[in-house]
Amino acid sequence: MFILCKAGDYTTPYIIGFQEDEPDLLTKSQEETLELISCEEGKNKIKVDEDTFTERYEKASALASKKFKDDLSKREKLTRIGKNKNREYVENALKYYMTEIEEEEQKKTLQRYIEIVHSVTTKHILKEFEYFRKNETTGKKLFKGVRELISKYNLEDRFEKKKELREELNEPTHVLCGMYLKGTYDEGN
């Protein structure tokens, strides 16, 4: 049985087989799935008992939804931000600098930089934050240094992508479709 799950823009196809009426994940590979669900024109349709289809569809959907949620959970772990003293130093120093600034536009820019800095998990960038911490870089010099890092490593785009991913992960999971496949792995199952 073919099941397609979706949360936000993130979708995953699943091929679920049945052994003695129990569902089993056969593949979630897009390439294998496309190969299995495509068929030649003019092929005869399979006739499936409605009760059997409904029962298997429910079991296959439940298994696919569970696997999909597990995959989303793994992806969510990748977006988690752990503690890092170098990043915290830069955040706090920027927050302090923001209290010294009167211009609203510059405060907005600083707030954006703080959000971007907070999302950084890449080791080599954290190492650059360590340089700021060890040299006690503050104020305008830190602001300029962070601006350079944001530009150099394209951190604004990375921040937006992480933000979108977190939003997707918070969306509910939907089973978009299910389809019974004729003779995929085990004829008759």
Distance CA 17, CA 12 (A): 16
Tell me the C-alpha distance between 148 and 125, whole Å: 12
The answer to whether the CB of 188 falls within 8 A of the CB of 182 is no
Measured distance CA(51)–CA(130) in Å, rounded: 63
pLDDT digits (tens, 9 = 90+) for 163-173: 887 777 677 77
**Is 183's pLDDT higher than 70?**
no
Q: Do the beta carbons of residue 105 and residue 96 sit within 8 Å?
A: no
Contact 28, 67 (CB under 8 A): yes
- Give residue-wise pLDDT tens across range 67-125: 998 888 787 776 666 789 999 999 999 999 999 999 999 999 999 999 999 988 889 99
Q: Which sequence spans correspond to the domains of the chain?
A: 2-80+173-179, 85-168
Q: Token pair of 102, please?
A: 């009167």
